[in-house]
């Protein structure tokens, strides 16, 4: 493939295809992922290529999907589950947090759980209730789970393969609003390990950090700020649990200011954890309080109000202005 311009959905598709071709123990399961190719067509063509025994259409039962995946992992397989929409993950919550996350610890490390759970998440698609949520903090809080979210097609292609190759359970949150956005994908070089954060734009005045769909918003805000003479450094979190803090801390020690942005509500969130850790470890470098821009602490609203609920470049820039005012 070398370097191509691909949508996130296609990049994920090719990453899944490559993982399945490389290891016959990799199989996929989920609702409508077979002939339909999934609601977002991420699994399109995979059942035709690998057969019904490796790409399984399941009943509408998320608890059953995850429970079956746990059993398959115990028998040496590497199952990849698709949760059709973010809000549908909660029927499988008990299996994920009570069983999948704890199984390796329960067996004192002798039993690995190489299960990947793909979750299309977030807003910006004008969907109905239960189809636009950001539940990543629930799983980041659960010991035993790894939680990641790619923001670009290139990362989607490589991160899904790395998640499948690992021996720990991974919640793989895919920003659904980015499925149709193209970007360059290099199939020869990944550029970053699965659990590393990355500086994607250099700056000197303020550090801004986000993950998933928020990266595009942060880059837009940085472009606008540059026209006004403010230099913003943008960091793509990539991994939500564990968090790679060193690039964040190094940036904050340079800029003295940090703004965190996320689609999820701000209370007891990923942003809250990063704010606390940076304050602990880089307190004497901060010239302003760490500020958070987040979804509001309410259920996700009807589609016509999502533009009010979701952080945009204006809200990010307002926080940047407040940080610079100190």
Instruction: List the catalytic residues.
Output: 131
> Rounded CA gap, 198 and 192, in Å?
8
Q: What is the C-alpha separation between 289 and 24, in angstroms, rounded?
A: 51
C-alpha 82/C-alpha 174 separation (Å) is 11
Q: φ, ψ for residue 284 (rounded to 5)?
A: -80, -5
- The token pair that represents 56 in the structure block: 């399984």
């Amino acid at each position: 493939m070398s370097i191509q311009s691909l949508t996130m959905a296609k990049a994920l598709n090719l990453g899944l295809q490559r993982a399945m071709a490389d290891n016959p123990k990799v199989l996929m399961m989920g609702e409508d992922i077979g002939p339909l190719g999934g609601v977002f067509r991420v699994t399109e063509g995979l059942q035709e290529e690998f057969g019904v025994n490796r790409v399984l259409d399941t009943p509408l039962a998320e608890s059953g999907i995850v429970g079956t995946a746990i059993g398959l992992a115990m028998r040496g397989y590497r199952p990849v589950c698709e949760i059709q929409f973010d809000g549908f993950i909660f029927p499988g919550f008990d299996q994920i947090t009570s069983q999948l996350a704890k199984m390796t610890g329960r067996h004192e490390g002798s039993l690995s759980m190489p299960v990947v759970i793909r979750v299309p998440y977030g807003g910006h698609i004008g969907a109905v209730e239960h189809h636009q949520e950001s539940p990543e903090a629930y799983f980041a809080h659960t010991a035993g789970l790894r939680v990641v979210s790619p923001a670009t097609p290139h990362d989607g292609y490589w991160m899904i393969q790395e998640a499948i190759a690992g021996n720990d359970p991974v919640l793989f949150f895919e920003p659904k609003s980015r499925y149709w956005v193209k970007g360059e994908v290099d199939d020869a070089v990944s550029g970053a390990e699965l659990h590393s954060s990355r500086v994607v734009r250099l700056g000197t005045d303020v550090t801004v950090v986000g993950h998933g769909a928020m990266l595009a918003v942060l880059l837009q805000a940085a472009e606008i700020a540059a026209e006004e003479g403010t230099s913003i450094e943008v960091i793509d979190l990539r991994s939500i649990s564990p968090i790679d803090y060193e690039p964040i801390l190094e940036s904050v020690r340079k800029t003295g200011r940090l703004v965190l942005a996320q689609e999820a509500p701000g209370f007891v969130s990923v942003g809250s954890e990063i704010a606390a850790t940076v304050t602990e470890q880089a307190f004497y470098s901060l010239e302003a309080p760490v500020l958070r821009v987040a979804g509001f602490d309410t259920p996700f609203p009807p589609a016509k109000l999502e533009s009010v609920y979701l952080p945009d470049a204006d809200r990010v820039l307002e926080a940047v202005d407040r940080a610079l005012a100190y």
